[in-house]
Amino acid sequence: MKVEPIDHLYPECRARCIRQMAVGDGHILHVEECGPIDGIPVLFLHGGPGGGCLLEHRRLFDPAVFRVVLVDQRGAGRSLPSGELEANTTLDLVADLDYVREALGIPGWIVFGGSWGSLLGLAYAQIFPESVHGLVLHSIFLGSREEIVAYASGLGSLLPADEQDDPLAAFARRILGENAQTASLAARIWLNYQRKLIGKPPLPAEPDAIQLARARIQMHYLSRDCFLVPGQLLAGIDRIRHLPAVIVQGLADPVCPPVAAEQLHRAWPDATWVPVPDGGHDVLTPAMARACVKALGWIAACEEV
């Protein structure tokens, strides 16, 4: 029996199962499952990179309908070792996801991800299209150099004049450097910059271990163009063109502006385009949550046909 959402999110729910899953290279993933074991399988991909899953993310899914698998990616959230960068690339994360799917005995699932999660979802689907029954992608990020430079451009004014041309590289040197105090200070500035973009207050104290891990992983990926060849995800659309998909994009998103989502839709016109006029970046806000919940219902209906 379906559960109706309260306003824009479903009621709080407990995880049915929580695992620590070793995936090789010394990495241990935190994996949660919610909903009935015979429900429609959904893979939830968090943002970041390095963001980790939140308890609130469970509330995007009808707990009576969907078997949701939430994975903290390598080094992120509650996965161990926290902030580990060795053997941590986009291809490693993709391989982990299909390892988790096989370990849980799931033949195929719907992929649901936003921001960094939309990039990872596209990369995963293009390598393992036979494991994907459909996609719900929001707040689109394709990992291009242009997107990354635009995102970090506002940091230039916080740096000495000789480092303002490439603020991301300057912060990467500090955050990934050997000096712990310098790394913590730079990470706090970086994280507060991100928080300001989405309307959150600054951190009240020095970053904790999980926040430092997030900053380290973000610098690791963004300074390396997310370990993708330029244009890779758009070039790979032919491998997934047959899959049902919805692109949900907040037109007021300050982190992932609509440009990348529009590029994706031009390359994949068969995907359903859902612009959210008053939508920002956060999938948990009312406008974005409602659009994504509706999109997931449509993809699930396609699967049942």
Interatomic CA distance for residues 214 and 173, integer angstroms: 15
Largest CA distance in the chain: 61
Interatomic CA distance for residues 214 and 36, integer angstroms: 31
Q: Which residues are catalytic?
A: 115, 253, 281
Interatomic CA distance for residues 108 and 102, integer angstroms: 9
163 secondary structure, DSSP code: G
Token duo for residue 159:
């740096």
* Strand arrangement of the beta sheet that strand 40-45 belongs to: 17-24, 27-34, 66-72, 40-45, 109-115, 132-140, 245-250, 272-276
Three-class secondary structure of residue 191 per DSSP: helix
Token duo for residue 227:
């370990």
**24 has which bridge partners?**
27
What is the separation, in whole angstroms, between the first and last Cα of the chain? 19
Q: Is the CB of residue 114 less than 8 Å from the CB of residue 135?
A: no
